[in-house]
Amino acid sequence: MERISGPYKGYFIAAYTVGTEPNFVGYAKICITEPQDVWNAPAVEKLLSATGFRIEQEALSAAERKARHTIAEIVGNWDQVTGTGALE
């Protein structure tokens, strides 16, 4: 199973699963530009989800979730918390 999603905070996620009978492992690549496929995606970061998922969709979702957390760490939280002048 494979899926390309995004953009998420300016990045794309190319995620895929690999079967390791009887379980699945999820992998994700974080990309600056939207990749055409998950296999040839030019990644700025490659990630491995936790192993041992019995359902392929869970492995894929775990890899995407890990990629989103990593992107959040890369980008940081630059959103304004308060409006202009609120602390004056």
Question: Could you tell me the pLDDT band of residue 87, with boundaries at 50, 70 and 90?
Answer: very low
Sheet of 11-20: strands edge to edge?
2-8, 11-20, 23-31, 43-48
User: What pLDDT is attached to residue 29?
Assistant: 95
For residues 55 and 26, the answer to whether their CB atoms sit within 8 Å is no
Q: Is 79 helix (H, G, I), strand (E, B) or coil?
A: coil
User: What pLDDT is attached to residue 79?
Assistant: 52
Q: Is 17 helix (H, G, I), strand (E, B) or coil?
A: strand
On average, the pLDDT of the chain sits at 85
By percentage, how much of the chain surpasses pLDDT 90?
Answer: 67
